Structure 1
Amino acid sequence: MLANDSYSAASTNVELTCVPDDTTGLERIMLAAQGDLQRLLSSFFGRPIFIELIYAHCSPRLTPASSDNPITQSREVHLVCESCTVCVATSTVTITSPQCERLFLDEKFPIGQTFRRLNRTPKFSLLNVETQAIDGKRELRRTYKLETEGFVAEILEVFPDRDMFVRGETWLMERRANLDTTCTTTATDTIPEWLSVCKGNAVH
């Protein structure tokens, strides 16, 4: 186990092992997040973090979830702030409780909020941490597991650019400006002015 969380009446100790030598204090906080990453990112950026569902593939729901009839779902979500993706999370969820099935599959609560609605602190296991350079940006990624009775999630999270933890709001505003510029350029390139057709008050 790469994370050891221990406490006594007088102290608390969170020990992360086998993480990159250049990991910053803020990155260590994110790596130790236990189902509350969305909340931490919102605190860091001072803005809402939205969940954008990319896909969710669920096994058949023929009977209520139970130990004998588990329901599984593979899914990918993006954590988005100011239209910028700050984390990509790919997960496999196993559900063996009707209550967890209702919260997660029917009421559509994300993984972290499902634990909050259950009012439970999940068991946390950090399985892997690594960094790599992609297209000139430094990625930080972790694989971990969250477990409680009736609900288990194994998750791979990718933070696409470690500079966001160094530059914060400045990084976010630059990314947002780049997105706005790209969208404007793409829209102009896609629909040349001479191809626009007026229909009523709308231009198509």
Structure 2
Amino acid sequence: MLANDSFNVASTSVSLTALPKDTTGLERIMLVAQGDLQRLLSTFFSRPIFIECIYAHTAPRTKPASPETPVSQIRQVHLVCSGRVVCIATSSVTITSPEFERLFLEDKYPIGQTFRRAQRTPQFSLLDVQSRIENGKRELRRTYKLETPGFECEILEVFPDRTMFAMGEAWLDEEQVANVVAPGQNWVVPQAETTVH
């Protein structure tokens, strides 16, 4: 397990292992989000985060969800802020409780809100973290599990441009970010050219 969360009456400690060396403090906070990523991103950007369902494939449901007749779904959603995709989440969900079946499949709450609506704190396991370059941008990826009796999810999340964590709201307002900047460098937002007549 890559994240170890411990506490006692006097202290709390979260230790992370096997992370990319250039992971920032803000990125570490996002990597340990436990079903509340949408809320954290909304706080960071100070704007609403919308969920756009790309696909949701639910196995045929012949009986109510139970341990004997689990219901499964594979889905992908985009978390979108001000028209920009800030996270792509691909999930495999297993439901063995009628309560969670109703909340997730009928009421259509997203995964994080399903846990909140059911007033359950899921068990969190961080399985993998990677950083890579895709289409000229620095991606950050995490794979993790959220589990509570009756509802289990394994999720791959891709943050498609780590620059957003450095620039914040300015990143949302940029239509195109021209260069990928290495960690520790300062961003200089290109100024529009002016023509003197």
Structure 2: which 5+ runs fail to align?
179-197
Q: Is the partner of 1:40 in helix, strand or coil?
A: helix
1:50 aligned onto 2:55: no
Q: Which residue pairs with 2:88 in the alignment?
A: 88
Relative distance call for 1:97 and 1:160 in structure 2 (3 A) is same
The root-mean-square deviation of aligned C-alpha atoms, in Å, is 1.3
Q: Which residue pairs with 1:148 in the alignment?
A: 148
Instruction: Give 1:177 shift.
Output: 10
Spell out, residue by residue over 1:139-170, the C-alpha distance to the aligned partner (whole angstroms, 9 max, x if none). 00000000001000000000000000001111
Q: Which residue pairs with 2:110 in the alignment?
A: 110
Write the distance in 1 (CA, Å) between the matches of 2:110 and 2:177. 29
Bigger CA radius of gyration: 1
Instruction: Give 1:136 shift.
Output: 1.1
Relative distance call for 1:22 and 1:177 in structure 2 (3 A) is closer
Q: Which residue pairs with 1:195 in the alignment?
A: none
Relative distance call for 1:63 and 1:117 in structure 2 (3 A) is same
Q: Which residue pairs with 1:158 in the alignment?
A: 158
Relative distance call for 1:25 and 1:34 in structure 2 (3 A) is same
Spell out, residue by residue over 1:98-140, the C-alpha distance to the aligned partner (whole angstroms, 9 max, x if none). 0000000000000000000110110000000000001110000
1:76 aligned onto 2:76: yes
Write the distance in 2 (CA, Å) between the matches of 1:7 and 1:118. 24
1:174 aligned onto 2:174: yes
Q: TM-score, normalised by structure 2?
A: 0.89
Q: What residue identity is the alignment partner of 1:92?
A: S
Q: Which residue pairs with 2:61 in the alignment?
A: 61
Q: TM-score, normalised by structure 1?
A: 0.86
Q: Which residue pairs with 2:16 in the alignment?
A: 16
How many residues of Structure 1 are paired with residues of Structure 2 in the alignment?
Answer: 178
Q: Larger helix proportion, structure 1 or 2?
A: 1
Spell out, residue by residue over 1:29-65, the C-alpha distance to the aligned partner (whole angstroms, 9 max, x if none). 0000000000000000000000000000001111000
Is the Cα contact below 8 Å between 1:82 and 1:176 reproduced in 2?
no
Is the Cα contact below 8 Å between 1:70 and 1:96 reproduced in 2?
yes
Structure 1: which 5+ runs fail to align?
179-204
Is the Cα contact below 8 Å between 1:93 and 1:152 reproduced in 2?
yes
